[in-house]
Amino acid sequence: MSIREVVASKSWFGFDLDDTLHEFRRASAHASICVFETIHASNNETSIDILSDTYQNILRNATANAFTDGRTSSEYRRERFAHLLQAHSFVDDSLLGHLLEVYQDSLRKSLTLKAGALHLLQTLRGLGKKVIVITEGPADAQEWTIQELGIRSYVDVLVTTNEVGKSKVDGMFGIVLEKYGIAAEDIIYFGDNRIRDVQAAREEGILAVFYDEKQQSHLHDVSALRVNSWAVVEKVLVHRE
Q: What is the mean pLDDT of residues 213-229?
A: 94
Neighbouring residues of 130: CB distance < 8 A, sequence distance ≥ 6: 11, 12, 13, 156, 157
Cβ atoms 226, 209 nearer than 8 A: yes
What pLDDT digit, counting tens, does each position of 17-39 carry? 999 999 999 999 999 999 999 99
Fill in the amino acid letter for 81: F
Q: What is the mean pLDDT of residues 127-136?
A: 96
DSSP letter for 137, please: S
What pLDDT digit, counting tens, does each position of 77-105 carry? 999 999 999 999 887 778 999 999 999 99
% of the chain at pLDDT higher than 90: 80
Q: What is the pLDDT of residue 163?
A: 85
pLDDT bracket for residue 133 (50, 70, 90): very high
Least Cα distance to 67 among 159, 144, 130, 152 occurs for 159
Best CATH choice for the domain 25-110 from the list 2.170.15, 1.10.150, 3.40.50, 2.40.50: 1.10.150
- Please name the helix (run of DSSP H) or strand (run of DSSP E) that holds residue 94, with its range, or none: helix 93-110
pTM of the model: 0.92
% of the chain at pLDDT higher than 70: 97
pLDDT bracket for residue 63 (50, 70, 90): low
Least Cα distance to 31 among 66, 70, 81 occurs for 81
CA distance 7 to 124: 12
Q: Poorest-confidence range of 39-48, 58-67, 113-122, 157-166?
A: 58-67
Domain ranges of the chain: 3-23+113-237, 25-110
Q: What is the mean pLDDT of residues 177-182?
A: 97
The domain made up of 3-23+113-237 has a fold known as: Rossmann fold (3.40.50)
